[in-house]
Structure 1
Amino acid sequence: MAISLASLNRQQVLLPPRILVYGVAGVGKSTLAACSPKPVFILTEDGLGLLQVTSFPISRTFVEVLEALDSLLVEQHDFESVVMDSVDWLEPLIWAEVCRINRVNSIEDMGYGKATSPPWISGGSIWIFSRISGHTIA
């Protein structure tokens, strides 16, 4: 069969929103995220204050973050949004895991020079991923 313009399909694919919220401490990033559809928080710091939200225990390692994400992918639930609070505390967990896997003491030992955060991380930020119940986290 020859390919022609008559064989074109038109589809609209709605991807789940992925939002990065950046701001100084106390500006309301977590409060905004708590307003997302049926949120569940993956915490890397104790910064929720008095917010009443559903959250995993504070993740102290990157493996714990991955375990929380994995449970959202494989277990039944009615959450629609996952909030990573906060990205600036997630970054050192990733670095520590990379060091553990590569059996080095620091990122600098891997030959990449001084490890620095991008400027958008240093002020405090959270990621919000929506529609996780359909397994479309990323």
Structure 2
Amino acid sequence: DPDRPGHFWSAHEYIQGGWHVWCGEFSTVTTMGHSHDNLIHGRNTKFYATGANPGERVHFLASLQPGPSPAIGQLGGLVLEIGAPIIYLSAATADSNGDAQAQVMVPSNTPVGITVYSQAVAQRGAGGASSIMSVLATGVVY
């Protein structure tokens, strides 16, 4: 699909000596990109996600522990690369390019030098069964 990189269409099938017509879409995009600006205690920072579906709600999560996380029921049992307890940071809607960003305040009492592990997730499918997660991002608080 020229409007959605990584998405493809197929419309033919040969079964038992004859062609049958069907149409199906499939995607090679199975994970999102994720990054954030510098984490400075007492200041706002931006968290970014790429590779979501346009208009999709993207949730930004963090932890002070590396993963794996417990299986998350709302995300169809997805296991994240961040550990428990998981901190819900914010959510944003992906733009027409599938990019989302959220501004988050790093609390002023966050210790300098601590490592923060974060991921973005998007809930997809019935019961979250097709949900996706981003790559892991890490950052040290300044």
Judge same fold: TM > 0.5, yes or no.
Answer: no
Relative to its length, the structure with more strand (as a share) is 2
Higher RCO structure, 1 or 2 (CA under 8 Å, sep 6+): 1
* TM-score (normalised: structure 2): 0.31
Question: Given the two structures, how large is their TM-score scaled by the length of structure 1?
Answer: 0.32
Point out the structure with the larger helix share: 1
